[in-house]
């Protein structure tokens, strides 16, 4: 079955790097995503990685994918107070899964000044 | 207007009321979704519509009734709700087959049942 797990909470000092980790169980995942949710708002797509890649960088964001261990991480460089939010990872197994994303429970990131 | 728009943003209703949540997407997507997000619980997928046809109903109580008149609009009709139904209801859309764009979410409707 599909299961995506994340740690619940991360506290980081402003200016430091944040690393949010995620594990998933479905080895046939085609895309993996990171979403950000700010208070009172919906989920915003931050970045994604295709399953044949092991790294993707987008400005302050770096996504690492270890398919062997089914481990996904999101690194935020130079973390700012505006990065305080809940971060969700999600996996898609493509058409076979009927276009459905499976989300983790979310990691609440608190950035301290 | 672009993206996924949900109305109203906030809703307070009594347990005997009937209300509807509305979702509209201007992205040309062909799939739409309703999610429930409660405090301290994971996102719960409620309903999935592909090309206006319901393809998934995750054992949602009948007091929640979805309607998808076309690929751009999705409604969630509510009646005789319970206090535990208070939550943030999120609508999302996507293009099938799913690619790097993932789902696009609306800002949600914060529902309080009193």
Contact B103 A98 (CB under 8 A): no
Q: Are A44 and A37 in contact (CB under 8 A)?
A: yes
B19 touches chain A (CB under 8 A): no
Q: With beta carbons under 8 A apart, name residues in chain B contacting A33.
A: 102
Residue length of chain B = 114
What share of chain B in percent tops pLDDT 70? 98
For B38, name the nearest residue in chain A, comparing CA atoms only: A105
- pLDDT of amino acid A2: 59
| Residue A59 near chain B (CB below 8 Å) | no
- Count Cα neighbours of B92 within 13 Å in the Cβ-side half-sphere: 31
Query: What confidence tens digit (pLDDT) does each residue in A5-54 have?
Result: 999 999 999 999 999 999 998 878 789 999 999 988 999 999 999 989 99
Rounded average pLDDT over B44-63: 89
Quote the distance between the C-alpha of residue A23 and its chain's center: 10
- SS3 state of residue B85: helix
């Amino acid at each position: 079955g599909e299961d995506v797990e994340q740690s619940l909470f991360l506290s980081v000092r402003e200016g430091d790097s944040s690393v949010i980790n995620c594990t998933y169980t479905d080895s046939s995942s085609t895309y993996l995503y990171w979403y950000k949710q700010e208070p009172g708002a919906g989920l915003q797509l931050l970045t994604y990685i295709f399953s044949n890649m092991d790294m993707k960088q987008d400005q302050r964001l770096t996504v690492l994918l270890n398919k062997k261990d089914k481990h996904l991480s999101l690194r935020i460089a130079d973390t700012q107070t505006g990065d305080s939010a809940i971060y969700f990872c999600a996996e898609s197994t493509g058409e076979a899964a009927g276009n459905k994303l499976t989300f983790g429970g979310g990691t609440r990131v608190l950035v301290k000044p | 207007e672009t993206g996924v728009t949900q109305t109203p943003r906030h809703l307070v209703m009594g347990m005997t009321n009937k209300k509807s949540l509305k979702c509209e997407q201007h992205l040309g997507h062909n799939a739409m979704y309703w999610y429930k997000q409660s405090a301290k619980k994971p996102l719960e997928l409620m309903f999935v519509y592909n090309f206006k046809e319901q393809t998934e109903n995750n054992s949602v109580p009948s007091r929640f009734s979805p309607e998808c008149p076309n690929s751009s609009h999705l409604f969630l009709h509510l009646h005789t709700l319970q206090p535990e139904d208070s939550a943030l209801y999120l609508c999302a859309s996507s293009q099938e087959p799913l690619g790097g764009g993932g789902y696009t979410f609306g800002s949600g409707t914060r529902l309080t049942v009193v």
